[in-house]
Amino acid sequence: MNKINIGLIGFGTVGSGVVELLQKRKVFIKNRFDSEFVIKTICDLDIKKRDTRGLKNTQLTTKIDDVVNDKDIDVVVELIGGLSPAKDIVVNSLKSGKHVVTANKALISNYGKELFKIAQENKCHLYFESSVGAGIPIIKSITEGIVGNKFKAIYGIINGTCNFILSEMSEKNCSFEDALKEAQRLGYAESDPTLDINGMDSAHKLAILAQLTFGKFLKVKDIYTEGITQISHDDIEYAKSLNLTIKLLAIAKKTNNKIEARVHPTLISKNHPLASINSVYNAVYLDADPLGKILLSGEGAGKMAAASGVISDLINFASKGADRKLICNLYDENTKLSLGNIDDVETKFYIRFLAADKPGVLSKISGILGKQGISINSLTQKAHNKTAAVPVVMLTDYTTEKKLRTALNAIKKLPAIKGTPVAIRMEKLW
């Protein structure tokens, strides 16, 4: 029997889920993998407030060193999130010969290269399946299941909060504010949802996926990131009328020696599989050679979904041991690749203006777009209203980000334009 002692740091929602799942699957793991996981120590600053029933043989502590410095602990499970003290916990654990399982997307996206090197130098493994998509096996799929493929592109719905909000706005005809409140009521959004709704959570996860597929470590701050706060109910309705839907997509593409990496609301066809990913579900759509298109989907957040990924990592370690290199821990990178500039990205755009209903306004807008070489594929204007501004929606042909932004800056200076124009990129995924 392979007995593995675990030191768990962070006994919140996910941590308690890990303990619960290990207890439920104890017999199965023994019979199937000839292994026994023993939760030797749990460290949490609020351990006295946690429900620790059923853990009478487990050491409960508030001191991180009780885990990191314990020579009898084989694997440290870090579930506190953030960069500090999480980074020190992982570094010190690896240097002391302990393997590490984490769900920490910020840590892996910012310091993955450094941590993977430390892991290999100390003949240890660093597992992080739950850092992207919770229990969806995207890390393992990329680094084992389809590792022989050459990856062309990644399209990910990898933030459950944003996907829930956009789904609510579409299905229940509610505002962004009302959808956010519902997400918070149901526990799908934090009291401070900033990192979710501004796209940064997705950017961290995209950095991890780009490294695994393209072999390039991207800095999160260099990934163009835009959230969903500017999306209105009007945009949702216009999208429906065009047989499109709006999703917050994390996109990475490799063309020659350039990587295009961006996170933003995106209009996609309702006929595409990603369009059916709703509520808190996540999905990653990969374009690979020779496999072709592949879609992985499931619950991307939540207690048991994230715990499932952590347990998968633990079993993966128990069944295969430490006598091999993990492909997901490789720290060499393709130095020939560089990150492209968002200004050079070429897409079609949906543009919405709030314009005063006066003669000549549309011709002025069209003239500014034409000056940048931007063609208009269609135009929609609501019924005339002499006393108020009305929405004007245009769909453009392919143009670069730089040209579009130059045109919008000029358009919003027109006296007839009220507020800031909204631009949403359109993506053809087939």
**What positions carry a catalytic annotation?**
205
Distance from C-alpha of 399 to C-alpha of 386, rounded to nearest angstrom: 33
Contact call for residues 116 and 330 (beta carbons, < 8 A): yes
Distance from C-alpha of 270 to C-alpha of 202, rounded to nearest angstrom: 22
DSSP states of 128-186: -GGGTTTTS-HHHIIIIITTTSEEEEEEEE--HHHHHHHHHHHHH---HHHHHHHHHHT
CB burial of residue 261 (10 Å; 0-12, 13-18, 19+) = buried
CA–centroid distance for 311 within its chain: 20
Return the structure tokens found at 234: 């009007």
Task: Give, in degrees to the nearest 5, the angle at Cα 338 between 337 and 341.
Answer: 145
- CA-CA-CA-CA torsion for 330, 331, 332, 338, nearest 10 degrees? 120
Return the structure tokens found at 218: 């991207």
Distance from C-alpha of 80 to C-alpha of 46, rounded to nearest angstrom: 12
Residue 75 makes CB contacts below 8 A (sequence gap 6+) with 4, 5, 6, 7, 98, 99, 100, 101, 314, 317
